[in-house]
Amino acid sequence: MTRDITIDIQDALPQGSAGFERCQRLRDRVIQVEPYFCTERAVLLTESYKQTEGEHMMLRRAKALDHILRNMKVYILSDELIVGHQAPKQRSGNVFPEYAVQWIYDEIDEFETRPADKFILSDEDRRVFMEELYPYWKGRTLHDRMMAMIPEDTKLQRFDAMVFAIGHHETGGFGHVVIDHERILQKGFKGIRTEIEQKLAEMRLDESNAWKRKIFYDSCLIIIDAIIAFAHRYADLAVQMAGEETDEGRRKELLAIADNCRYIPENPPATFWQACQVVWFNQLILQINDNGTSYTPGRFDQYMFPFYAQDLGRGAPKAQLQEVLEAFWIKLTEPVKLFAGADSIINVGQPTGQNISIGGLSPEGEDATNDLSYRCLEASLHLRLMQPNFTVRMHKGTPQSLLMRAIEAIKMGSGMPQLTNDHTFTEAMLKLGVSLEDAREYVPVGCMETMPKNTWGRANGGFLNLTKVLELALSDGRCRITGKQVGPKTGDARTFTSMEQIKEAYEKQMAHSVTHNAIENNLIDLVHEEIAPIPLVSLFVDNCVERGVDATSGGAKYNWTSVLGIGVANAGDALMGIQQAVFDEKLVTMEELIDALDNDFEGNEPLRQYLLNRVPKYGNDLPEVDGYVRYATDVFFDELARHRSYLGGPFVGSLISISAYVPFGEKTGATPDGRLSGSAIADSISPMNGVDLNGPTAAMKSALAIDHTRCGNGLIFNQKFTPGPLQSKEGMEKFASLIRSYINLGGAQIQFNIVDGDTLRAAKADPQKYRGLVVRVAGYSAFFHELCEDIQDTIIARTEYSV
């Protein structure tokens, strides 16, 4: 069967049908659920750790997961076709005490009232944490080990000045990896177990590293048996519920669910429904195992199409398959993560980063669009949820029908799908030494971090603030917020007489900051390898099982660490401000400018207004200022290239901020673009809010001034359009032409909020009325009502275009 034999861009599950109504009920229930703070997983994990003290940490991790999966509460909600939950209540956040407990202890009274990502905390869960979990884990966690080892001068950059931050990996799991579901779908866990047993049988323990490999394989076998037992628990529950069910249709569904869970994921699935259940079990168990984010399903329409096409060939109604797909789609919205307060602002809106991508090129370089690509777009159109994160991979030969269907989904206002450029990212992968076939199989991970599926990419090695680096260059290495000397002394900028001196200081400060980011990243890798190895994740990363090596120890085919540069627009705008105000027009001296920055423009409002409104700004297709943005990013990329990761691979750059543009702005002093101290910086590679005055095409051309092929770990370009013109065919065609032009010129990624400011302001004023409103925050979408006020305001303030 060819991949396009069943293509039909029309809805398979029409509104008003029973299947459509079921999925809308499932959607509405997810939207209405309030997240709870949950200690069940933590209690079970602690029980296991107490029983395994003295054993190898990898075996302890495997046995802990086994204990959790065999004893956690299992339940099936009404209407569910895909089953499995991560906690006793839907959309509840688990505690992961092996990573960190101190921040929970310090913030436990704030979960219900904090600005972002609130959690309801019961008296019993509070008691369990304070009386049972905290006393055992205090001093034993990954975070405790990290803080005992991190160098003091690195702490200055990381904590005092917050030039960079790697918060979640200091207190949580890694994640940020493409999950090779295809391998499990083809072999089942029984097949993987057979492979491992064969390797153990052939092993000689007197060989080099044999014991490490044996421990890894033994851990994998424990985990495989636990996963199968977990699925069987759902099978048993479904049989029990079927015996009590009075509705004959639902009784049959429960028995089918039981059959599915009894058979898979131990065996390769025989149907599309079973395949969806396998993928969900994999996604779910990974998120129960640790609190890493962005376990990414990847090219869903490629590895799932054979099951979909086979069912169609057997006569299964397309509407029935769509119903299963949408039931699966909804499950990806359920997981939530319990972040520390500071990290919850950076990751505001519960983005778990489960990024599904469709379309794009095949490994052979041909268009890979199939009918399931359209079915995924239909699911996105129908459900409009914040997860899964959703990507359409584009290339020069992408079918117009796919692009137009994607625009139909985009104009619904959820900010999805985002669009990526296969040609640009393939070139970026090739620059990293990836083979052409693997490069064409790149996957957007989490928000927009990119990598081939057989990669341990450490795709969130922290955010590094290019605007803050420039601040240090203009203050002789002193943080304007804290007054502390956090960088090297690179000269008193008051005495600088040329832009070359400013650039030299910027480059030296960048070298210092990137070095300390690399120091902490490599320490994080060391500590995770020792305290939190991930044999479960390694089962889903190519080469790890073959080599018998955990992903944290270098088992993957490709290994690198990625750092996310932010504040790029402000850095370029600020350099342009200095050149024009000081050296070209001589409006002020360097001494006067530095004094104004030190005093947050107090008494110098005319100067601030000049810098804001009279100096060219990035986002308007003005080569001089765009060149400064290119310079600022190139310095960042050049410095990363001088370092090697813990596993010997490169440090790879990206330009992605997610929601970090607000908290990093709070830690950044006044800047020569007219920005006040503590205010937000720009989002990813988008212009600063309100300065892009020449329309969307000009903003795109400015973004293209950056070398996108150096962003091997991805970038994000946000635009906001008013929805009115997109309601007409002509408007949609203009929008499609705009997108194709950007892609054809080499733009790596673009995403859109199609929502007007009045709607957002109304939603801010009456959140309950707009509880289902989903918006694009940065590289992810979120329920608008779950965002903190600062993030809501920045989204409202974005320039609103029209086609």
> What is the three-state SS of 350-384?
CCCCCEEEEECECCCCCECCCHHHHHHHHHHHHHC
- What DSSP element (H or E) covers 123? helix 123-128
- What DSSP element (H or E) covers 531? helix 499-531
Residue 737 lies in a domain: no
658 and 699 part of one domain: yes
Residue 800 corresponds to which tokens in the numbers above?
A: 């609103």
Residue 360 lies in a domain: no
Tally helices (H) and strands (E) across the chain: 34, 21
671 and 685 part of one domain: yes
702 and 603 part of one domain: yes
96 and 222 part of one domain: no
165 and 216 part of one domain: no
Query: Pick from 567, 541, 562, 568: which is nearest to 552 by CA?
Result: 541
164 and 250 part of one domain: no
Integer Rg of the chain from CA: 26
- Report yes or no: 363 and 182 within 8 Å, Cβ to Cβ: no
774 phi and psi angles, rounded to 5 deg: -110, 135
207 CB-side CA count, 13 A: 8
For 255-261, the CB contacts below 8 A with 24+ separation are 257/76, 257/80, 257/81, 257/83, 258/234, 259/235, 260/235, 261/83, 261/231, 261/232, 261/234, 261/235
Strands (E), 404-557: 418-421, 443-445, 449-451, 455-456, 463-465
What averages of pLDDT result for each successive group of 10 residues across the chain (803 residues)? Answer: 62 94 95 93 98 98 98 98 96 96 96 88 97 98 97 96 91 93 97 98 92 98 98 98 97 98 98 98 97 93 97 96 98 90 67 91 97 96 90 96 94 86 98 97 93 90 96 98 98 98 98 98 97 97 96 97 96 98 98 98 96 96 98 98 97 91 94 97 93 92 97 92 85 94 96 78 76 65 68 67 61
Q: Where are the alpha helices (DSSP H) in 264-340?
A: 272-289, 300-303, 305-313, 318-331
- Report yes or no: 300 and 376 within 8 Å, Cβ to Cβ: yes
636 and 683 part of one domain: yes
Q: Which domain, by its residues, includes 127?
A: 37-149
SS3 38: strand
d(CA 656, CA 646): 22
d(CA 234, CA 227): 11
State the DSSP string of 664-726.
HHHT----TTSPPTT-----TTSPPTT---S-HHHHHHHHTTS-GGG-TT-B--EEEE-SGGG
Question: Active-site residue 711, yes or no?
Answer: no
d(CA 67, CA 86): 14
Number of domains in the chain: 3
Residue 39 corresponds to which tokens in the numbers above?
A: 């200690």
Question: Active-site residue 98, yes or no?
Answer: no
Residue 365 lies in a domain: no
Any idea what the CATH number is for the domain that residue 572 is in? 3.20.70.20
Which residues, in sequence order, are CB contacts of 592 under 8 Å at separation 6+? Answer: none
| CA–CA distances in Å: residue 704 to residues 61, 443, 588, 626, 698 | 45, 21, 32, 9, 10
Residue 304 lies in a domain: no
Which residues, in sequence order, are CB contacts of 238 under 8 Å at separation 6+? Answer: 76, 83, 254, 255, 257, 258, 261
- Report yes or no: 479 and 200 within 8 Å, Cβ to Cβ: no
Residue 30 lies in a domain: no
Q: Which of 98, 253, 323, 449 is catalytic?
A: 449
Question: Can you say whether the dihedral through the CA atoms of 131, 527, 541, 57 is positive or negative?
Answer: negative
| CA–CA distances in Å: residue 539 to residues 79, 184, 221, 351 | 32, 9, 10, 24
- What does the pLDDT read at residue 724? 82
Query: Pick from 742, 717, 738, 718: which is nearest to 726 by CA?
Result: 738
Burial of 426 (0-12, 13-18, 19+ CB in 10 A): buried
Residue 140 lies in a domain: yes
- What does the pLDDT read at residue 17? 96
d(CA 646, CA 652): 13
Among candidate residues 266, 289, 312, the one where a domain is terminated: 289
Query: Pick from 2, 4, 8, 5: which is nearest to 374 by CA?
Result: 8
189 and 233 part of one domain: yes
d(CA 283, CA 736): 33
| CA–CA distances in Å: residue 223 to residues 52, 58, 185, 220, 747 | 16, 11, 17, 5, 42
Residue 704 corresponds to which tokens in the numbers above?
A: 């293209």
617 and 647 part of one domain: yes
- What DSSP element (H or E) covers 68? helix 57-71
252 and 237 part of one domain: yes
Q: Which of 276, 447, 479, 711 is catalytic?
A: 447
d(CA 94, CA 91): 10
Among candidate residues 659, 691, 716, the one where a domain is terminated: 716
338 and 265 part of one domain: no
Residue 726 lies in a domain: no
- What does the pLDDT read at residue 1? 36
- What does the pLDDT read at residue 10? 86
Residue 67 lies in a domain: yes
- Report yes or no: 685 and 568 within 8 Å, Cβ to Cβ: yes
Q: Region of 138 please: left (phi>0), alpha (psi -120 to 50) or beta.
A: beta
CB atoms within 10 A of CB 49: 20
Query: Pick from 542, 534, 524, 529: which is nearest to 64 by CA?
Result: 534
115 and 241 part of one domain: no
Among candidate residues 669, 700, 716, the one where a domain is terminated: 716
Query: Pick from 740, 777, 730: which is nearest to 419 by CA?
Result: 740
- Report yes or no: 607 and 676 within 8 Å, Cβ to Cβ: no
